[in-house]
Structure 1
Amino acid sequence: MRFSKLSGKEIVSLPACERLGFLGDCDLTVDEETGRIRSLIVPENKNQLSFFIDRRYLEIPWDRVRKIGNDMIIIDFADILK
């Protein structure tokens, strides 16, 4: 699947069903040797005026992606937040 098709999908975490944003707003870390995605870098601050504030990011390993659907990407990372 091409990144252009993924970029409009919303990222939702389990088990709380929290909306984290859209993949197009995230950064990806990629393994240079294999070309595979290693993790998603998701901005934690969703405020529109976040350019005035130091942004915090949450790194989610790609193996936490449980399902890529038509409209969203389901991620299970409850134990990462604890």
Structure 2
Amino acid sequence: MRLSELNGKEIVNLQNGIRMGKIGDTDLIVNEQNGLIEYLIIPNSKAQFSFFRDRGYIEVPWSSIKKIGSDLIIIDLEHKKGLMF
């Protein structure tokens, strides 16, 4: 799959069904050694209500991605105390 094919896909958390954002709004952390994507960095729009006020993003390990469909990317990310998903 090409990176351009991911653009615009909605990211949904399997644990609670909440939409986390879109791939076009996220950053990708790529391992320079092997070229593999390691993390998605999703802006946390609810960060102002979070215990971690200075953390305006959520790091999603690539291994948490369970399915990439035609419109959605389903991730399995457990609710973390202090972060509002």
* RMSD of equivalent CA atoms: 1.6
Aligned length, in residue pairs: 74
Q: Percent of counterpart pairs with the same letter?
A: 53
Gapped regions of structure 1 (runs ≥ 5) = 47-53
Structure 2 unaligned regions, length at least 5? 47-53
**What corresponds to 1:16 in structure 2?**
16
Task: Check the 8 A contact 1:45/1:55 in 2, yes or no.
Answer: no
Partners in 2 of 1:55 and 1:5 — Cα distance? Answer: 28
Give the TM-score, by structure 2 length: 0.80
Residue aligning to 2:72: 72
Compare the two structures and name the one with the higher strand fraction: 1
Name the structure where helix makes up a greater proportion of residues. Answer: 1
The TM-score, its normalising length taken from structure 1, stands at 0.83
Moved over 4 A (4+): none
